[in-house]
Amino acid sequence: MSAKLSLIGCGPGAADLLTIRASRRIGEADLVLFDRLVEPDVLELASPLAEKRYVGKGCGDGGRQQADINCILKEALRDGRHVVRLKSGDPMVFGRAAEEVAIAVELEAEIEIVPGVTAALAAAAENAITVTERMELQSFVVTTGKSADPNKDPDWSNLVKPGVCVAFYMSVAQAWRIQTALMAKGVPGHIATDWIENSGRPNARRVTSRLDRLALDARKQGVSNPAILFIRYPLSAAAGQLSAQQAEQA
Ligand code: SAH
């Protein structure tokens, strides 16, 4: 038997949001590696003969845990197994897929990547939030609250611009930093913000606020991970901002 790595996008949780290809591959695996964000009913698709291994990853020491996962993966591929690595959402969106693919390349294992519904789009669909809108939102951007270097935030104020909807992953702990960075660059405090917590699960919740109350409302409402933050800056909000400034100057 030849070694194979299948990186499978499992979507936001519910098994019926898996692709047909994803559910087939899960059924074919010898070893299934999964983490905290993968729901139990997805695991039920694996053969009773397959080994299922929890490989952790909550918040915090992601570096060490990723090293452990890499190690397990290497060992299994060396043994010629078919490893199915389950990833929440889509493997190519904040999924650390590059490291796991590099291991398979190094070991000359076959690689297959199966796309999944990424959390932002699952959350958007569930809550009827359009991420593009013909007259108001021309661009859709995904970013993260958490970068590899904790002292270097992504350049959020260059992303949140008139006509853009931005989805923030891993951003709950950074609400205050995001709010202040954007307001310092003149993004209007009244634009709407939405947290979507636990999208696709029975405990899904939407917390709507506005930019100038983002951190306060997140704290008051106890927003917690996993959650996506949407900041939509419609063109008309920017036009309104401009005419208010002009009226003030006149
Ligand atoms: N590859 C995943 C993202 C993994 S990073 C994807 O494409 O969706 C982990 C982050 O994804 C979390 O911090 C959160 O921002 C988001 N996330 C994952 N599952 C979620 C869910 N069910 N509801 C809301 N956000 C979720």
pLDDT digits (tens, 9 = 90+) for 110-121: 999 999 999 999
Q: Which residue has the tokens 């993968």?
A: 38
Give the pLDDT mean for 143-164: 92
pLDDT averaged over every residue in the chain? 92
User: pLDDT for 56-84, tens place per residue?
Assistant: 765 455 556 788 889 999 999 999 999 99
Closest-lying ligand 1 atom to the alpha carbon of residue 200: 22
**Highest CATH level, class, for 4-117:** alpha beta
Indicate yes or no: pTM above 0.85: yes
Backbone angles phi, psi at 223, to 5 degrees: -60, 130
Structurally, what CATH architecture does the domain formed by 120-241 represent? 2-Layer Sandwich (3.30)
> Rg (Cα) of the chain, in Å, rounded?
20
Closest-lying ligand 1 atom to the alpha carbon of residue 146: 13
Task: Tell me the percentage of the chain whose pLDDT exceeds 90.
Answer: 78
Closest-lying ligand 1 atom to the alpha carbon of residue 11: 8
Residue 100 pLDDT > 90: yes
Please tell me the predicted confidence (pLDDT) of residue 250: 65
Please tell me the predicted confidence (pLDDT) of residue 1: 65
Give the pLDDT mean for 187-208: 95
What type of residue is 148? A
Ligand 1 site: residues with CB under 6 angstroms?
Answer: 12-13, 37, 87-90, 93-95, 118-119, 123, 169-170, 196, 198-200, 225-228
User: pLDDT for 7-19, tens place per residue?
Assistant: 999 998 888 999 9
Give the pLDDT mean for 228-236: 97
The helix (run of H) or strand (run of E) holding residue 227 is strand 227-233
Please tell me the predicted confidence (pLDDT) of residue 230: 98
Please tell me the predicted confidence (pLDDT) of residue 238: 85
Six-digit token pair at 249? 């100057």
Give the pLDDT mean for 151-177: 96
User: pLDDT for 40-55, tens place per residue?
Assistant: 889 999 999 999 999 8
169 Cα–ligand 1 center, Å: 6
Per-residue confidence band for 245, with pLDDT thresholds at 50, 70 and 90 = low
226 Cα–ligand 1 center, Å: 6
121 Cα–ligand 1 center, Å: 10
Instruction: Give the whole-angstrom CA distance, residue 75 versus residue 166.
Output: 39
- 113, β-bridge pairs: 7
Per-residue confidence band for 246, with pLDDT thresholds at 50, 70 and 90 = low
Please tell me the predicted confidence (pLDDT) of residue 57: 62
- 140, β-bridge pairs: 165
Q: Of 66-70, 174-178, 206-210, 213-217, give the lowest mean pLDDT range.
A: 66-70
Please tell me the predicted confidence (pLDDT) of residue 59: 45
Alpha helices in the chain (DSSP H): 20-28, 40-43, 62-78, 97-106, 119-126, 156-159, 175-184, 214-220, 235-249
Please tell me the predicted confidence (pLDDT) of residue 63: 58
78 Cα–ligand 1 center, Å: 30
Closest-lying ligand 1 atom to the alpha carbon of residue 13: 22
Q: Which residue has the tokens 């929890």?
A: 54
Catalytic residues: 35, 57
- 135, burial (CB in 10 Å: exposed 0-12, middle 13-18, buried 19+): exposed
For the chain, the structural domain boundaries read: 4-117, 120-241
Please tell me the predicted confidence (pLDDT) of residue 13: 83
Pocket test of ligand 1: the residue of 19, 35, 37 to mutate, having most ligand atoms within 8 Å of its CB, is 37
